[in-house]
Amino acid sequence: GERLPKPERGKMRVHKINNVNKALDFIASKGVKLVSIGAEEIVDGNAKMTLGMIWTIILRFAIQDISVEETSAKEGLLLWCQRKTAPYKNVNVQNFHISWKDGLAFNALIHRHRPELIEYDKLRKDDPVTNLNNAFEVAEKYLDIPKMLDAEDIVNTARPDEKAIMTYVSSFYHAFSGAQKAETAANRICKVLAVNQENEHLMEDYEKLASDLLEWIKRTIPWLEDRSPQKTIQEMQQKLEDFRDYRRVHKPPKVQEKCQLEINFNTLQTKLRLSNRPAFMPSEGKMVSDINTGWQHLEQAEKGYEEWLLNEIRRLERLDHLAEKFRQKASIHEAWTDGKETMLKQKDYETATLSDIKALIRKHEAFESDLAAHQDRVEQIAAIAQELNELDYYDSPNVNARCQKICDQWDVLGSLTHSRREALEKTEKQLETIDELHLEYAKRAAPFNNWMESAMEDLQDMFIVHTIEEIEGLIAAHDQFKSTLPDADKEREAILGIQREAQRIADFNSIKLSGNNPYTSVTPQIINSKWERVQQLVPKRDHALLDEQSKQQSNEHLRRQFASQANIVGPWIQTKME
């Protein structure tokens, strides 16, 4: 690949010497020391000098540049042959003369690099000529290596020419080295292509993975930001279980994807930088920073969601506890109020006696104390219902309806309790008034009854009189008695008025008196009956007295007649007796 000075075209000796000198100068410029070799000897056809120069050229350009594991030239070429033929049986390259006589080493070199050209297993060590010719022909035909050696010369020579063998073997080295370089270059190109393809795959994978991850984040954040409360603790527990599944099952693979995404991105950028390629720029919105931003939003939403779930569960637990407390207190209160309205509405006081009323009042006072004690429970029920409303309890309408019913019933009980107390106290006062009237009635009815009984005895009493004076005295006494009858009738009316007043009060206030006057057995009927009897006996007494008066008057007349006759007869009789 290097240009030499343009040769002279003349045919003269001087032209030839100049042209050879140009070649020798070039060789010398490559660091080759030409000792005792001149252009004149070569132009004059000195075979020894010419062959020496050719060998020098071969050493410099074919052998000296060979380098294998820090060895060069002859040693390097020998080491290369040893390494390439090491796996083959019956081949042991130790030099560049007798080690090549059987031809197996040449075939081994070819087979090592082009196994399709040699059927090495069919070669026999005892047939060196065939082996050598096979190697030379294959090398010339397929590897463009000239047939520099003769098989018979090598076989028939005790020690083949080392320089000839070395020169021929170096052709194999350069042929295979060039092929190897071409293969290496091809491999390098393939590798570059593979790297590019791999980079493209990494870019595609990054884009797809980034899209999928961002889509998942976009889909998950609204779910985590959803703060719609559930009605029951069971539904919220299910939400918490779903969140735990998300944490335990769904999120970890995404964490791995995110890490893998960052690793792929960094790996891709490193590969691109090492291969002097422009840095990878993902699509808009799919940068690692965009993914990290989305992930931070996801983490924030997740943290807020977990806090909300726990707070909501605690709220529902408190609500359940409050609701249960409300139900218990409401049930206890409703059980206590059962039948109380009926009890307060009953009018048992209308037929009660004064002592019964006092007992009912004492019983009512005890109920009022019980009612006051339950006031605190009603206030607690209302407070719990209010708290349930403030905490947005899902069943608040039913709670409110039940609470309102309890409060309304409580107001009714309070009103009925007040009304019953008023009715009991009013009835007590009325019964006390009636009782006082009964007592007054009894106090006045008893002596009046005794007076009537005495009057009836007197009016029915048998009388025996002998004189007119006696009957007149009875008539005078009877007249005196009759003069008291108007006052007695007024007293009777007053006594009966007391009874009527008591009955009027009872009737007006719908009080059903249980029986007779507790202080006396003298009823108005008895008084009226006895008074009628007195009224009947008075005229009978009048007649009896008048009859007796007439009789006494008649008797008095007879007595007077008898007395007058006695005044006449008496002296006569006395005279007679004398």
Which pair of structure tokens corresponds to residue 386? 């209010």
Q: Determine the pLDDT at residue 130.
A: 93
* Domain span(s) for CATH 1.10.418.10 in the chain: 15-177
pLDDT digit of tens for each residue in the chain (578 aa)? 788 888 888 888 888 888 888 888 888 887 777 777 788 888 888 888 888 888 778 776 766 666 666 666 788 888 999 999 999 988 999 999 999 999 999 999 999 999 999 999 999 999 999 999 999 999 999 999 899 899 998 899 989 988 888 888 888 888 887 666 655 656 667 777 777 788 888 888 888 888 888 899 898 888 888 878 777 778 878 887 888 888 888 889 988 988 988 888 888 888 888 877 888 788 888 888 888 998 899 888 888 888 888 888 888 888 888 889 989 999 999 999 899 888 888 888 778 887 888 898 999 899 889 989 889 999 999 999 998 888 888 888 999 999 999 999 999 999 999 998 988 888 888 888 888 988 998 999 999 999 999 999 988 888 788 888 888 888 898 899 899 999 999 999 999 999 888 888 888 887 777 677 888 888 899 999 999 999 999 999 889 888 888 888 888 888 788 777 766 555 656 666 65
**Rounded CA separation 207/199 (Å):** 12
Packed helices 354-390 and 288-337: angle between N→C axes, nearest 10 degrees: 170
State the architecture of 437-575 in CATH terms. Answer: Up-down Bundle (1.20)
Which ranges of 338-395 would DSSP assign to H, the alpha helix?
340-345, 354-390
Q: Determine the pLDDT at residue 106.
A: 93
Q: Determine the pLDDT at residue 210.
A: 87
Q: What are the Cα distances from residue 128, in Å, to 106, 124, 150, 174?
A: 11, 8, 12, 25
Interval 469-508: pLDDT, tens = 888 888 898 899 899 999 999 999 999 999 888 888 888 8
190: helix, coil or strand? helix
Check whether domain 194-320 has CATH 1.20.58.60, yes or no: yes
Count Cβ neighbours within 10 Å for each residue of 175-190 and write b for 16 or more, e otherwise.
bbbeeeeeeeeeeeee
252: exposed, middle or buried (C-beta count within 10 Å: 0-12, 13-18, 19+)? exposed
Contact 420, 364 (CB under 8 A): yes
Q: Determine the pLDDT at residue 305.
A: 81
H or E stretch at 247: none
47: exposed, middle or buried (C-beta count within 10 Å: 0-12, 13-18, 19+)? exposed
* Domain span(s) for CATH 1.20.58.60 in the chain: 194-320, 437-575
541: helix, coil or strand? helix
Contact 142, 161 (CB under 8 A): no
Q: 0.75 cut: is pTM over it?
A: no
- Residue among 429, 430, 436, 433 nearest 519 (CA): 436
Q: How far is CA 195 from the centre of its chain?
A: 52
| CATH number, span 15-177 | 1.10.418.10
Q: How far is CA 469 from the centre of its chain?
A: 123
Which residues are bridge partners to 71 per DSSP? 68
Q: Determine the pLDDT at residue 319.
A: 82
H or E stretch at 68: strand 67-68
Dihedral of CA 68/73/77/82: which sign? negative
Q: Determine the pLDDT at residue 578.
A: 58
Show the CA angle centred on residue 217, arms to residues 213 and 218, nearest 5°.
115
Interval 161-180: pLDDT, tens = 888 888 888 888 888 876 66
Q: What does residue 30 show for φ and ψ, rounded to 5 degrees?
A: -95, 10
Strand residues in 209-305 grouped as ranges (E): none
Q: Determine the pLDDT at residue 428.
A: 84
Which pair of structure tokens corresponds to residue 212? 């999928």
Residue 492: CB atoms within 10 A of its CB come to 22
Dihedral of CA 94/96/98/100: which sign? positive
Residue 426: CB atoms within 10 A of its CB come to 12
Residue type, 398: N
Packed helices 396-460 and 524-577: angle between N→C axes, nearest 10 degrees: 10
Question: Which distant-in-sequence residues (6+ apart) come within 8 Å of 391 by Cβ?
Answer: 315, 318, 319, 322
